[in-house]
Amino acid sequence: MTEELLNLPVPQVPTGDHGVAWLRSNVVRFTNGPDHARKRALTTKLIEDVNVTTLDELATALHLPGSLDDIAKIAPCYQPHEPVTAEADAAVERLAGTHDEETAARIGLLVQAWAATNALAEHLRTGNPAPPVPITRRATETGVIEVSLDGHPFGHGPHACPGRALATKIAKNMAFKAMHHQDEPLILPNAWDYTSAAALHAAGFHAIGTTSLGVAAAHGIPDGMGLAGEQAIALAALLKDLPCPITVDLESGFGMDAADLVAGLDAAGVNLEDGRPHGLAEVREQADLIARVKERAPGVFLNARIDTHWQGIAIEETEARAKAYVDAGADGIFVPGLTEPHDIEKLANLAPLNVLAQNRAPKELGDLGVKRISTGSLLFRAALHHTVATAKAVRDGGIPQAFSYEDVQALVSPGTRSVAG
């Protein structure tokens, strides 16, 4: 029944020659029939080659740089059932310049992106499965009705915004960054294929990382040698449609241009390490790499992994590297092997600190200042162990424990993806 209601026309809006009334009467969102088809084509064309990671970048791409303060004034008044403020009318006029359909399309796109991404980002951060826009309105012979969007993917329906995929990407970036500034640490499990990631999300984890060991070993490739780039990138492409933020372990960039690599991933975060197959990168070299990546993809959370502890190097060098990487633009720092409380507290003062899961409860690590706890390769190694143990149980007459066939089929259903519908 909901699908039938969504196919009804949207309520007509009065025409207007200025302010919010002009904007409403000229955007694709509040049109029907041929007008809708024409304006949708125009709106789609405006963003067909846009690849951005933040709302600020989107505003610039739409030729509305520095406009988000005005957009925030317009957004609460955009829907026809909402009252219009003088501030919103003035904001539209400041942005409009000329009152034509393309200008309206640019402003309307940014208004819808601003509202949708902020709402969706908060839902993603908290794991709320409800749609960021809970209802829409349709016109019937007896008047305007409200249609619930509960149970439908974001942007569902014939009037879905052409920019919903872009809005989802930006919202995931916003949510993932916010997860590193909560009172409790983000518990980040690391997957090695699509189904392990989907299972972890279904189990209630709000964000998923990848594990370089798991990805490499699953393909018969040694970890840490920069040899599994093709496999890591292919997995990132599969995971981007999961309805949660994904962060990708890129080792040290697999010998590629890291800025191009990150900008093309559609991931909410990446790990970039200063370890190399035969030692550590020079500090300045790694800082320059981080700066280039952040310039190209400012909305992607860059977790700068520091491999000094793996190589038994003193905390002083770890701290110096952490400061240099944060100054270069890193959003967080990750020091695998870091376990001493004093060292943890010292580094946690520099930026959101990521450590590997260890023999300390999340609350204890959180009290030390840790903002993210990763499982690293642990889950892959545990799965490998369980695989062998299960095979032995079959051989020896035991009773193996496993997901059902139907459970796994459900995990890979198209309905689990954020762009479904």
Q: Among 90-99, 106-115, 395-404, which stretch is predicted with the lowest mean pLDDT?
A: 395-404
pLDDT digits (tens, 9 = 90+) for 173-205: 999 999 999 999 999 999 999 999 999 999 999
pLDDT digits (tens, 9 = 90+) for 48-85: 999 999 999 999 999 999 999 999 999 999 999 999 99
Supply 93's token pair: 């006029």
Instruction: Indicate the residue among 109, 139, 170 that finishes a domain.
Output: 170
Closest CA to 171 of 279, 244, 228: 244
Closest CA to 42 of 95, 83, 102, 90: 102
Instruction: Indicate the residue among 170, 200, 234 that finishes a domain.
Output: 170
420 falls within a domain: no
Q: Among 285-294, 296-305, 333-342, 399-408, which stretch is predicted with the lowest mean pLDDT?
A: 399-408
Closest CA to 101 of 23, 45, 30: 23
403 falls within a domain: no
405 falls within a domain: no
**Are residues 154 and 214 located together in one domain of the fold?**
no
pLDDT at 144 over 70: yes
pLDDT of amino acid 103: 97
Rounded mean pLDDT, 128-145: 86
pLDDT of amino acid 141: 86
- Look up the pTM and report it: 0.93
Instruction: State the Cα–Cα distance between residues 392 and 411, nearest whole angstrom.
Output: 26
Contact between residue 377 and residue 211 where contact means Cβ atoms under 8 Å apart: yes
Tally the domains of the chain: 2
pLDDT of amino acid 187: 98
pLDDT at 132 over 90: no
**Are residues 276 and 365 located together in one domain of the fold?**
yes
pLDDT of amino acid 195: 96
pLDDT of amino acid 420: 40
**Are residues 368 and 291 located together in one domain of the fold?**
yes
**Are residues 164 and 192 located together in one domain of the fold?**
no
98 falls within a domain: yes
pLDDT of amino acid 418: 58
pLDDT at 216 over 80: yes
In terms of residue numbers, what domain contains 225?
Answer: 180-384
**Are residues 191 and 144 located together in one domain of the fold?**
no
Contact between residue 180 and residue 65 where contact means Cβ atoms under 8 Å apart: no
Rounded mean pLDDT, 238-244: 94
**Are residues 142 and 64 located together in one domain of the fold?**
yes
18 falls within a domain: yes
Supply 4's token pair: 């039938």
pLDDT at 2 over 80: no
58 or 5, which is more confident?
Answer: 58
**Are residues 250 and 327 located together in one domain of the fold?**
yes
Q: How confident is the model at residue 421 (pLDDT cuts 50, 70, 90)?
A: very low
**Are residues 211 and 345 located together in one domain of the fold?**
yes
Instruction: Indicate the residue among 170, 203, 224 that finishes a domain.
Output: 170
pLDDT digits (tens, 9 = 90+) for 278-323: 889 999 999 999 999 999 999 999 999 999 988 888 889 999 999 9
Q: What is the CATH number of the domain that holds 307?
A: 3.20.20.60
pLDDT digits (tens, 9 = 90+) for 360-374: 999 999 999 999 999
11 falls within a domain: yes
191 falls within a domain: yes
pLDDT of amino acid 287: 98
- Who contacts 4 (Cβ-Cβ below 8 Å, separation ≥6)? none
Closest CA to 353 of 303, 316, 308: 303
Supply 352's token pair: 């959101």
**Are residues 134 and 185 located together in one domain of the fold?**
no
224 falls within a domain: yes
pLDDT of amino acid 129: 87
Contact between residue 149 and residue 130 where contact means Cβ atoms under 8 Å apart: no
The secondary structure of 129-180 as a DSSP string is -S-SS-EEEEEETTEEEEEE-TTS-TT-STT--TTHHHHHHHHHHHHHHHHT
**Are residues 285 and 344 located together in one domain of the fold?**
yes
**Are residues 259 and 304 located together in one domain of the fold?**
yes
Closest CA to 286 of 311, 264, 263, 305: 305
pLDDT of amino acid 133: 82
**Are residues 185 and 166 located together in one domain of the fold?**
no
